[in-house]
Amino acid sequence: METPRNETSPRDASLLLVAFGVYLLWGAYFAFSNAEWPWFMPPQLDFIGMLLSALGDPIGAYCGGGFLALLGIALVSFPIVLFFRRM
């Protein structure tokens, strides 16, 4: 007798990518509007913010916001492109 496995479907994975991309875009908006690194970013991305803070607070925040925006756009657009490719 087989036990059911918890497997994620490609649709679930793409929804997670879109959700995380929107989260990063929200962080980019926060960085641009407040000129400081978002406090709610995961620790892996805090490392990038720490490196960019060497440029100075506002400039580092804007560079970090640009990085978050590029990463967020990539994570949002990748599942959308795959969806239209399958059609």
Per-residue confidence (pLDDT) for residue 79, from 0 to 100: 87
Distance between CA atoms of residues 59 and 82, nearest Å: 35
Compute the average pLDDT of residues 51-74.
Answer: 87
Chain mean position to CA 47: 14
Number of residues assigned to the chain: 87
Q: In the predicted model, is pLDDT for residue 1 greater than 60?
A: no
- pTM (predicted TM-score): 0.78
Per-residue confidence (pLDDT) for residue 10, from 0 to 100: 66
Q: What is the pLDDT of residues 8-61, one digit of tens each?
A: 666 677 888 899 999 999 999 999 999 888 888 888 887 877 787 788 878 888
